Amino acid sequence: MFPYLPQTEGDIKEMLKVIGVENVDDLFYDIPDTIVRKELLSLPKGKSEYEVYKTMEALAQKNKRGISFLGCGSYDHLIPSVVKHVLQQPNFYTAYTPYQGEISQGILQSIFEFQTDICELTGLDVSNASLYDGHTAASESVTMALKTRKKADTVLISETVHPNTLAVVETFFSDVDVKFKMIKSENYRTSLSDLKAQLDESVAAVLVQTPNFFGWVEDFTGFADAVHENKSLFIISSNPMTLGILKPQGEWGADIAIGDTQVFGLDKYFGGPSVGYMAATSKLMRKVPGRIVGQTVDRDGDRAFVLTLQAREQHIKRERATSNICSNQALAALANAVYMSTVGWSGLREAALQSTRKAHYLYKRLTEELSLAPLADNEFLYEFTVIIPDAERVLADLQKEGVYGGVALKQFYPEMKDAVTIAVTEKRSKEEIDLFVDLLKRVLK
Tens digits of residue pLDDT in 155-176: 999 999 999 999 999 999 998 9
Q: Does the pLDDT at position 35 exceed 80?
A: no
More confident residue, 296 or 42: 296
Looking at 340, 366, 387, which one is the last position of a domain?
340
* Residue 365 domain-assigned (yes or no): yes
- Predicted local distance difference test score (pLDDT) of residue 38: 66
* Residue 17 domain-assigned (yes or no): no
For the ranges 8-22, 238-252, 273-287, 306-320, which has the lowest average pLDDT?
306-320
* Residue 59 domain-assigned (yes or no): no
Q: Are residues 174 and 245 in the same domain?
A: yes
- Predicted local distance difference test score (pLDDT) of residue 136: 93
Q: Which CATH number goes with the domain that contains 414?
A: 3.90.1150.10
Looking at 288, 309, 340, which one is the last position of a domain?
340
- Predicted local distance difference test score (pLDDT) of residue 157: 98
Please tell me the total count of domains within the chain: 2
Q: Are residues 85 and 221 in the same domain?
A: yes
- Predicted local distance difference test score (pLDDT) of residue 1: 45
High-pLDDT (> 90) share of the chain, %: 76
Q: Are residues 307 and 352 in the same domain?
A: no
Angle at 267 between CA 293 and CA 360, to 5 degrees: 110
The residue among 249, 218, 220, 227 whose CA lies nearest residue 236 is 249
What range defines the domain where residue 401 resides? 67-77+345-444
Q: Are residues 229 and 293 in the same domain?
A: yes
Q: Are residues 162 and 222 in the same domain?
A: yes
* Residue 220 domain-assigned (yes or no): yes
Looking at 324, 340, 356, which one is the last position of a domain?
340
Q: Are residues 218 and 323 in the same domain?
A: yes
Q: What is the mean pLDDT of the chain?
A: 91
* Residue 134 domain-assigned (yes or no): yes
| Cβ neighbours of residue 365 closer than 8 Å, sequence gap 6 or more | 433, 437
Q: Are residues 380 and 393 in the same domain?
A: yes
Q: Are residues 95 and 226 in the same domain?
A: yes
With residue 82 as reference, give the H or E element that holds it: helix 81-87
Q: Are residues 164 and 305 in the same domain?
A: yes
Rounded to the nearest 5 percent, the helix, strand and coil shares of the chain are: 40, 15, 40
Q: Are residues 433 and 330 in the same domain?
A: no
Tens digits of residue pLDDT in 73-124: 999 999 999 999 998 888 787 765 555 555 688 888 999 999 999 999 999 9
Q: Which CATH number goes with the domain that contains 173?
A: 3.40.640.10
* Residue 376 domain-assigned (yes or no): yes
pTM above 0.95, yes or no: no
Q: How far apart are CA 95 and CA 162, in angstroms?
A: 33
- Cβ atoms 419, 413 nearer than 8 A: yes
Q: Are residues 364 and 276 in the same domain?
A: no
- Predicted local distance difference test score (pLDDT) of residue 44: 83
- Predicted local distance difference test score (pLDDT) of residue 316: 65
Q: How far apart are CA 363 and CA 201, in angstroms?
A: 43
Tens digits of residue pLDDT in 368-384: 999 999 999 999 999 99
- Predicted local distance difference test score (pLDDT) of residue 430: 97
Q: Are residues 327 and 380 in the same domain?
A: no
Q: What is the mean pLDDT of residues 278-302?
A: 92
* Residue 61 domain-assigned (yes or no): no
- Predicted local distance difference test score (pLDDT) of residue 29: 81
Q: What is the mean pLDDT of residues 328-339?
A: 91
Confidence of residue 308 (pLDDT cuts 50, 70, 90): confident
* Residue 262 domain-assigned (yes or no): yes
Peptide bond into 211 cis (omega under 30): yes
